[in-house]
Structure 1
Amino acid sequence: MSINTLQRKCKKLFRDPKNFFKDSKVMSRIATKEINQTNKIIREMNNHSIGKVFFNENSVINYDILGNIKPNNFSFSSVIIKERKSSLPKNEPIYANILKNPNNFIGFRENNIFLCDAGNLILDKFIDVREAFQNKNWISAPFSSYKNIFIVDPKNNLPQLIKSTSPFVFVHCIFTEKSSKDSIERCIKWSGKIDSAILHSSHDNFAYAFNRSHVFSSTIQLLKGIADLILINGSKPYDLLIPCFGDTPFLENIDELNEETHDIYIKINKKMNAISKTCTFEEIAMALSQSTSFVLCRESVYQRYEDVIIRGDLQQFILATTKDGLRVEVSEQ
């Protein structure tokens, strides 16, 4: 820098210090760096967070979901709904562990699993589902672009609400060591049957309440539980019928049955007695279970309701699968 240039800059500094720093290359570089850093944060938030669920000013549940974020592979896609602790999604507990997972599992790739922020009291306060569905937004199934919804430490009936928006969404609850016994009992009571739950080992006595459950005591086991559920509900090249209840004989027509569109095949061993028109569906399921010779179901169905099948609870199996919209074929011997 020449002496003349230095003198000119010094005069400008004393005469108009504000414009001096505004025009300086150093300040320009600092400003550019700050802008780039801000853009990076915004870009990172948009790439990992699909929005939030919250209560509006009228205390009615609502959501703000970004419609431009879609998974690369729907069959292995997921959303984790939890109360945010970190400003950056990539630093959020559980979600950060998933993204750092060293295995190249398709369900844990950044463009297949996203965060959704649960606003204040969203995981705690009872939700009036009928009131929520008066808002047409919920009828449009906001989470239908994703296969699995994992809700972390819910204490209310948010799982029921999200499950009610679409028959194609699988809702799973993650109960960490931070969940209390009372909050889990309240969630089960208010939400009814949930697809599956991942339970901390201190809550393993609640495993009976779910169609399928995973128990974990470490982060690695938690991630394995999440990955297993994503795989179970993912697409399969072959989804054949397998025995799940009763003594299944050799079936010459098994190939034909596999070609059919039903998910469950029930063979009854006797003609069922006439049932009163005033009976409940629970009573119909009980009567059907008492007349059953054997049951076949698709492998994906077996995995989804594994705990119920292992317990041998055929009535509950019929109730759960029909409630979830699975196709059932009943054949008389």
Structure 2
Amino acid sequence: MESLQLHRILPPLLLLFSFFHFLSAEFSPSDNYLILCGSTTNATVDNRVFVGDSVSNSGSFHLSATSELSRSDRNPSPDSSALYNTARIFKGPASYEFNIKTTGTHMVRLHFFPFSSEDTNLSSAVFNVSAFGSLLLRDFSVPNITHVLKEYIMEVDAPKLVISFTPSGNSSSSSIAFVNAIEVFSVPDNLIADFGRYITSTGFTRYNGLKKQVLESVHRINVGGPKITSFNDTLWRNWIPDDNFLRLNSSAKAVNFSSPIVYPAGGPTPEIAPDAVYNTAREMNTQILMSPRFNITWIFPIFIHPISHFKHLQLLFILISSLILKNQGLFVSASALRK
């Protein structure tokens, strides 16, 4: 199997948004694993049933570990998600193996929360995580009382997907690994284009083979719109407003569209972004136009681990190439930009 490299992606920076619609139920992934690690019961989160890895007997996924245990948060916060109330803890190499029904593009989400435990300090854990031949996390740790979600998009062309956890700390207290919940589900193949534009100071060239890379989601931003929770998203994603990322808030103003969204055949689909993405936007605030080079700038913090496989930023824009407000509504098109 070809070893895949991990790349970080800023997907998608969306310029247009819409009203909330409950579209999650319209997409039904052929592979759909929702695992509640360390739990003896199931839990429903956003109308999705997460299965406790201690009780599943489906045979469709398998946990293998040399030394493992489970722990529960004895004092969970009243507003805490059920995904973070239990954890599977590993004192040696371990892996989850998932049977893949349909090869193609898949999304992998890993949930981490180091809740307080009497005999194990999860916040001191240091470990590696790999999947499908790619190192996703190296010497990874989670700050105390912090919820962390890591999301990856990868092309799976084999009948099994293995996610491995390996402790890498240099002491007995840090040489453990843990995970609270795992999501593995298939997504439409057109979620990520296989090509993009490689941007340099001298111009750009076409880049092919994006689908052969493992892409990590870093920021998912709603430009000009409110927060969208996983309950209202077609692929159970969270989108946050762009206000805190604008370099100059007064440079842009939010605008709204009320027309219905029309997705042309062969073009973008609601799974690339829900309808709630397309009915608001940012436009230049011409009232404070200061120079011919006046623009709207967003600044996104990116952490680059000195020994990670980070090589480039993948920026995906869903652009409105033309606002055609006909009787059918608002038409959208998409393009990919790689930097």
Give your verdict on TM over 0.5.
Answer: no
The structure having more radius of gyration, on CA atoms, is: 1
Q: With CA pairs under 8 Å and 6+ residues apart, which has the higher RCO, 1 or 2?
A: 2
Q: Where is the helix percentage greater, Structure 1 or Structure 2?
A: 1
Q: Where is the strand percentage greater, Structure 1 or Structure 2?
A: 2
